[in-house]
Chain A
Amino acid sequence: MGLLIKNAMIVNADKIWDTRQDILCEAGKIVKIAASIAPDGHQIIDAKGKKVLPGLIDIHVHLRQPGCEDKETIETGSKAAAKGGFTTIMCMPNTTPVIDNAMVVEFIRREAQRVGLVNVYPIGAITKAQNDQELTDMAELKSAGCLALSDDGKAVLNSRLFRLAMEYAKMLDLLLIEHCQDPCLSAGGVMNEGEVSTLLGLKGDPAIAETVIVARDIEIALYLNARVHLAHMSLKRSVDLIRAAKAQGIQVTAEACPHHFTLTDADVKSFDTSMKVNPPLRAKEDVEAIQQGIADGTIDCIVTDHAPHTKEDKEVGFDAAPFGLTGLETSLGLTITQLVKPGVITLSQMAERMSAAPARIVGLGGKGRIQEGKDADLTIIDPDKKWTVTKEGFVSKSVNSPFIGRTLSGRVEYTVCGGKIVYAPVA
């Protein structure tokens, strides 16, 4: 017995089907797509009036476990992912202990399997304990299940070490994800450096802290003919650098977050610590450039950088509050509201940026596309449905969202992972 999705308007990255189809999922795979498939005792979802996308993939999430289970756990993070329409998430290694050896990778994978909602792939660290001193045992991390490595939270600042990491990772065909930030230039900045930081008297984090690392990594990638993926790009100048690099055939890919194509540094005027995020919210022209970069493919994928923090952690004033905001449950709504509805990208392009491209970048060949034989990971959405973000609505352990009170278009109706319904409307 399988799961049969009736009347599906299928949205793939390359096309939106113009007729309704039925999709039959069995044993975790999509086994048949046809105009009409007999019910045959299958569990049925009627997707009439909805769009069916390949399961969304977020390659930049912080699940906090092990170490900070008060903020989030693999279980609550998986629930938040499923509610947000994600069927695959990749979690960053800045946990306690750091994901820098096979044992921690295995712990996370086992716990994710026990929870049994979405696919969780741990991202291993590039350097042991993320200390910017010694490389991790990358082959061991890969065989334990890591698809990518990153020291997210900080850059690998030592340029020689990053060069060596890139060479070594290339040999293993592992993706490196760089958190582009020179901490010497950031110098304790808590928001974007500019007119608004000047006005508010908050310490500014200058654009060059990001762009010097973007430029450095592009140069190293060119020199080594190796690939690098740049995390959470926030600036027009970064988009320009990446666009130029891609035009020269350099193997650079990049991601951006909904908050960076939605909010500006002027939103910090509220002193709402949910607006404190790293990289910081930037100027209006940067927001426009990120949107443009997503539209033209300079930015390959949309990620959340889901960074849950407790109320107690955040309610300590802007300087002392930790960076980060919760993002899994608002990402789809923000993407549709900010990019699809205004015509910046199409629904197909959204399927590309939120599913096909991340699958391709991390090498998940069975995912990212609705096609017979592919994994039965599907996200069924109503792109026109309006809903309001509320504190009570979150299933994540944390509610540090700057979007509370906003009305968004586009809601997840069902999330199907491995042919199993992992999120469905309550009513």
Chain B
Amino acid sequence: MTQWKHQHLLGLQDLTAEDIELVLDTAQSFKEVSSRDIKKVPALRGKTVVMLFFEPSTRTRVSFELAAKRLSADTLNIAASVSSTTKGETLLDTARNIEAMNVDLMVVRHGTSGAPFILAQGLKCSVVNAGDGCREHPTQALLDLFTLKEKFGRIKGLRVGIVGDILHSRVARSNIWGLTKLGAKVTVCGPATLMPRGIEAMGVEVCYDIRKLIKNSDALITLRLQKERQQDKFLPSLREYGRLFGINREKLAEGSDELIVMHPGPTNRGVELSAEVADGKQSVILDQVTNGVAVRMAVLYLVLGKHDM
């Protein structure tokens, strides 16, 4: 079996297919822990995991926190404001101060792409990226991969569509890395104004026709559309976005019954997904949330395990 060699998890770009499979396999064994009556194993007893979030987050933070607690680690949440780091204290200063209290791992979310790199270079503890700017959100992609594998038994050969604001999406980028490394065929779909230049170089196809995409996909990863995109002129209106790229029952009916619909949450019901699709039988959104804890347990376990043994 492959050995985990990484002190940090900064993105799926840096992982091999074998690394990713190892996380998914490890997550499989941890998933069972969360269904037990006593949802705790002593794997990380005595370790301290700090959630350092420079952007507001509920889901990801809670999921990481539960994952750490179910592995018996001590956890601490810090909602850091970006403004405090602009008052003369640099990003690295803030993190070094926390590290000085003998922290083993920092889970970091930051609005700037590359921020976890700066921390990983300057800190001795492990760093796990919980989302950096528009670059990567590796644990979200890992839980998406886990969910796909759970539903289809494989990733290789799957036709996966990623729909929405590709330009600003770290979920899209991490999924593109992960899916292509594991042999899926990825198509990105969304308004041309929200399609980043040169995205084809990441090994994906671009499609602007949601109906065509639905007909030719095994799974759709839909993305959250930030309402500000309309103010930033990327879109004429949310209504028009819904008309062109929103997924409702009628559009979904053109695809296979086996097609599954995913979303990293929180969903704008009525914009990217209609309520009946979000709650429908093809939706696996809540499975994703459940799997998120198992996947994050695996990540924390592997990243921290490396130094001990």
Contacts and interface: CB of A to CB of B under 8 A. Distances in A.
B90 A201 contact: no
A157 B115 CA distance: 33
B33 interface: no
Interface residues of A, number: 20
Contacts of A316: 85-86, 90-91
Contact of B111 (A194, A312, A319): A319
B65 interface: no
Interface string B77-109: 000001001101011100000000000000000
A319 B112 contact: yes
B101 to A, nearest CB: 21
A198 B168 CA distance: 9
Contacts of B85: 316
A197 B86 contact: no
B114 A204 contact: no
14 contacts: A195-B198, A198-B198, A201-B136, A202-B114, A202-B133, A202-B134, A203-B134, A315-B90, A316-B86, A317-B112, A317-B115, A318-B115, A319-B113, A319-B133
The secondary structure that dominates the A interface is: loop
A201 B113 contact: yes
Interface of A: 193-195, 197-204, 206, 271, 312, 315-320
A315 B117 CA distance: 12
Given A195-B198, A319-B113, A201 B91 contact: no
Contacts, number: 69
A193 B197 contact: yes
Contacts of B86: 316, 320
A198 B198 CA distance: 7
Contact of B114 (A194, A198, A315, A317): A317
Please classify how large the interface on chain B is, using the bins under 10, 10 to 19, 20 to 34, 35 or more.
Answer: 20 to 34
Contacts of B82: 320
Contacts of A201: 113, 132-136, 170, 173
Which 10 residue pairs are nearest across A and B when measured between Cβ atoms?
A201-B134, A201-B135, A271-B114, A195-B198, A317-B112, A315-B90, A198-B196, A319-B112, A201-B113, A195-B201
Given A202-B134, A312-B90, A317 B196 contact: no
Contact of A312 (B88, B110, B118, B135): B88
B135 A317 contact: no
B202 interface: yes
Nearest to A311: B90
A312 to B, nearest CB: 6
B199 interface: yes
A312 B196 CA distance: 31
Nearest to B195: A198
A293 B109 CA distance: 43
A197 B111 contact: no
Interface in B105-155: 110-115, 117-118, 132-136
Contacts of B196: 197-198, 204
Contacts of A315: 90-92, 118
A318 B112 contact: yes
A25 B171 CA distance: 67
Contacts of A193: 197
Nearest to B135: A201
Nearest to A202: B113
B118 A317 contact: yes
B2 to A, nearest CB: 25
A194 B91 CA distance: 27
Contacts of B136: 201
